[in-house]
Amino acid sequence: MIFLRRQLPLLITFVTGLLFATQYYVPHPASERMLTEVTKWLQIIGGFALVLGVTSLFHLHAVKIRRKEPGWGYSFVLYAVMLGTIAVGLWVNGKETVNGTATAFGWIYSNVMVPLQGTMFAILAFFIASAAYRSFRARSREAAVLLLAAVVVMMGRVPLGEYLVPLSGDITQWILNVLNASVRRAIYIGVSLGAVALSLKIIFGIERAYLGGGKE
Amino acid sequence: MPFEALLGAWVATGLTLFIFTFLYKDNPLFKLAEHLYVGVSVGYTIVKAYDTVVIRLIYEPMVVQGDWSLLIPLGIGTLMLARYAPKAAWMSRIAFAFIVGVGSGLAIPRVISSYILKQVEDTIRPLVSMAQGGALAFSTNILDPASNLNAVVLLVGVVSVLFYFFFSIEHTGPVRVAARTGIVFLMIAFGAAFGYTVMARMSLLIGRLTDLIEYADPGYGRPSLWLLLATITTLVVWSLRRRDEHPPEG
């Protein structure tokens, strides 16, 4: 039993890890087909992961409603809207438009989801600005550099900024394409080295956190 | 105007205003809109996942085309649900092992190729160019990302930032100079990322405000104005009732 619980998962990780690491170096049609197939498989398995996540959300709000905890009415609204969206979506086979005409599902997307999403992210502009005021005060040379770069980029991305400081557009492009690119590149290199090291540790069974705790 | 468009304008305006009320403080209108957002988003995701995974990736290939090999990922996926049965929870490890194993295996060569070798290759470019007649040239046009001056700046930036994150040697002497240069590059990049993000959010804000202005049109029944009035009234009533229930101390 210990083999099934502990060693079999490690063996599966080892075999699949080595198989798909070597697949990259085998430019044979069969190898490419295997990659295409397993990509589909991962999407299918990902669907089950969604079931896990959604069930957890269902459970959380069901408990709130059952115990009539403060704010349980909002949980009820969440449930009702979620089930309503699912029912409408399934009724029209998940299609937002049919022959160029918006379905009820498309209406929900355009008139409920898009405004809510857009506004939710838009109000972050205010909070980012207030957070920036608190954290950006040029208390050190580094903070001053950060503040200056942020101001230049903000000015360079609006017509008013370019009107007030004609060079701000060009400087913004230079900052984004050269200075920012160099830092991103260095971070990519560092993160990638870490990702490769972690992947090797996972394949060889050194890193086992993904198996979770619990009984052996 | 069609009824759906009219209703859509009123609903979109109302929800936008409800979210904006958070700028005053957390309140029931915002909470309602927030829970609506979560509910609709989850419902939408479930429908899209059903359409993509169940219909296109499972039902059509299996039932219509007869590709029964898909029973394997179905079985592996089902093992994930074993987490709900405490005695069989260990079986979900098999599914996670498969996903993590495939993911790790796929990542190693691709990450090395795309994010390490390619990035290093693009960084180590010739620092001078060959002009016509065989003479060496050094282009200093900073607006051209491919100029020699920018190649030098890129190289200095990448190396100094890598030095900053390299903790295996003490940051003293020349290494300290390199690391300090790396900090300057990092600060510029963080500032640029911040400025870029703020402007992206501003763009979204402008989009929402444009909609609110459009929906103030008499053709829609002026939902922006009426709902703004209703929202403000609701907030005032809510604040007054709250003050009565929880009077300020002192």
CA distance A193 to B111: 8
Domain that holds residue A158: 137-209
Regions of chain B short of the pLDDT cut 50? none
Residues A21, A31: contact at Cβ < 8 Å? Answer: no
The DSSP call for residue A213 is S
In a domain, A184, yes or no: yes
What whole-number distance in Å separates Cα of residue A123 and Cα of residue A115? 12
Looking at the complex, report in whole angstroms how far the Cα of residue A153 sits from the nearest Cα belonging to chain B.
5
How many structural domains are present in chain A? 1
Q: What CA–CA distance (Å, rounded) separates A202 from B108? A: 11
A167 in a structural domain: yes
Question: Which site among B79, B102, B208 would you substitute to test the A interface, given the most A Cβ atoms closer than 10 Å to its Cβ?
Answer: B102
Whether chain B has a CB inside 8 Å of the CB on A26: the answer is no
- The ranges of chain A with pLDDT < 70 are 136, 138, 213-216
Helix, strand, coil tally for chain A in percent (to 5): 80, 0, 20
Q: Given the cut 0.90, state whether the ipTM is greater than it.
A: no
A–B CB contacts, 8 A cutoff, strictly below = 394
Q: Which amino acid is at B74?
A: L
Which of B208, B144, B188 minimizes the C-alpha distance to A151?
A: B188
Instruction: List Cα–Cα distances, B225 to B5, B22, B170, B231, in angstroms.
Output: 17, 19, 63, 10
The single-letter DSSP state of residue B248 is P
In chain A, residues with a C-beta closer than 8 Å to the C-beta of B121 are: none
Q: Is residue A151 a part of any domain in this protein?
A: yes
Residue A45 in domain: no
Q: Compute the nearest-CA separation of B30 from chain A (Å).
A: 10
To the nearest whole Å, the CA of B18 is away from the closest chain A CA by 9
Q: Is A90 domain-assigned?
A: no
> Could you tell me if residue A185 is inside a domain?
yes
Quick check: B222 contacting A, CB < 8 Å? no
Positive or negative, the Cα torsion across B63, B69, B73, B74? positive
Q: What gap in Å lies between CA A168 and CA A171, rounded to an integer?
A: 5
Classify A139 as helix, strand or coil: coil
Is B188 in contact with A112 (Cβ distance < 8 A)? no
Q: What does the pLDDT read at residue B87?
A: 86
What is the predicted pLDDT for the residue at B139?
84
pLDDT at A171: 92
Residue pair B83/B89 in contact (Cβ under 8 Å)? The answer is yes
The CB density around residue A30, as the number of other CB atoms within 10 Å, is 9
Residue B244 pLDDT? 82
Amino acid at B25: K
Q: How do residues A126-172 score in pLDDT, each as one tens digit?
A: 888 788 777 767 678 888 899 899 999 989 888 888 888 888 889 99
Phi, psi for B141 (deg, rounded to 5): -75, 105
User: Average model confidence (pLDDT) for chain A?
Assistant: 89
Dig out the tokens for A2 from the structure.
């210990």
CB A126 within 8 A of CB B204: no
pLDDT for res A133? 76
Q: What does the pLDDT read at residue A138?
A: 65
Q: How far apart are CA B99 and CA B73, in angstroms?
A: 10
Whether the Cβ atoms of residue B42 and residue A75 lie closer than 8 Å to each other: no
> Which residues 54-93 in chain A show a CB within 8 A of chain B?
54-55, 57, 71, 74-75, 77-86, 89-90, 93
Q: What is the pLDDT of residue A75?
A: 94
| A185–B123 CB contact, under 8 Å | yes
Give me the pLDDT at residue B145, please.
Answer: 80
The closest of A156, A154, A157 to A165, measured between CA atoms, is: A156
B137 strand-pairing partners: B129
The answer to whether position A50 is within a domain reads no
Q: How far is CA B163 from CA B31, B159, B179, in A?
A: 47, 6, 5
**Per-residue pLDDT, B147:** 87
- Closest-CA distance of chain B to residue A181, Å: 8
Spatial distance between the Cα atoms of B2 and B7, rounded to a whole number of angstroms? 9
Q: Exposure pattern of B56-84 as b/e (b: 16+ CB <10 Å)?
A: ebbeeeeeeeeeeebeebbebbbbbbbbe
**Is the CB of residue B224 less than 8 Å from the CB of residue B213?**
yes
Q: What is the chain B residue with the closest CA to A18? A: B105
**Interface membership of B112 toward A (CB under 8 Å):** yes
From CA B139, how far away is CA A138, in angstroms rounded?
35
Question: pLDDT tens, B154-166?
Answer: 999 999 999 999 8
pLDDT of residue A111: 95
Sign of CA dihedral B65, B66, B67, B73: positive
What's the start-to-end Cα distance of chain A, in Å? 9
Q: Is residue A40 part of a domain?
A: no
Contacts of B229 (CB under 8 A, 6+ apart): none
